[in-house]
Amino acid sequence: MRQSNRQASAPEGWEGLLEQGESILWQGRPDGRMTLRQINPMQLLFGLFFAGFALFWMIMAAQAGGAFWMFGLLHFSVGIGIAIGKPVLDPLKRRRTWYTLTNRRAFIARHTLLGHRTLDSYRLTPASRVSFLPGSPASVLFAEDEVRVKRGTRTRRIGFERIEDAREVFALIEQVRARQTA
């Protein structure tokens, strides 16, 4: 999955996106494999219970005759989604994600499951909170945003997740930040 690319000028497709004097230092993609570590045991149990109850309800409703049992399909699907949705959807999202690091910014490009394309840019400054998350593969986080949740907001860390050459990328980001203070 490693795709490093060191270039001094804007490659094809990057014209008009890079600032004057900005150059690409690294490009790569996240690991798209599914991992069992992403499964939340409580969420899995709740989802399976929810789906199991819906399945039981559908069987009982089907024995009464008619098509009323089909209303349980929605609940069954929701239960399965709760149980295994994140471990299945996250790898699919990562397989449609591309990362680029320049001498000023980090870019995250995505081709969403619904067919939309997004390109997010994060300026790297000396104030940026950069973290190296060890793992197999490791991640480098460099930005944050606030996400609304049921009871307020929570901070979501953003970065290059699950990349093979994370140590090299972390060092490059630190060099970018150091040059800006000099």
pLDDT at residue 7, rounded to an integer: 42
Q: What are the angstrom distances between the C-alpha of 175 and each of 75, 168, 178?
A: 51, 11, 5
Is 35 a residue whose pLDDT tops 90?
A: no
pTM: 0.76
Instruction: Give rounded-to-5 percent helix, strand, coil for the chain.
Output: 40, 30, 35
| φ/ψ bin of 147: left (φ > 0), alpha (ψ from -120 to 50), beta (otherwise) | beta
Mean pLDDT of 15-27: 90
Residue 94 structure tokens: 């990562």
**Tens digit of each residue's pLDDT (9 = 90 or more) over 95-115:** 999 999 999 999 999 998 788
Helical segments of the chain, H only: 41-63, 71-94, 166-181
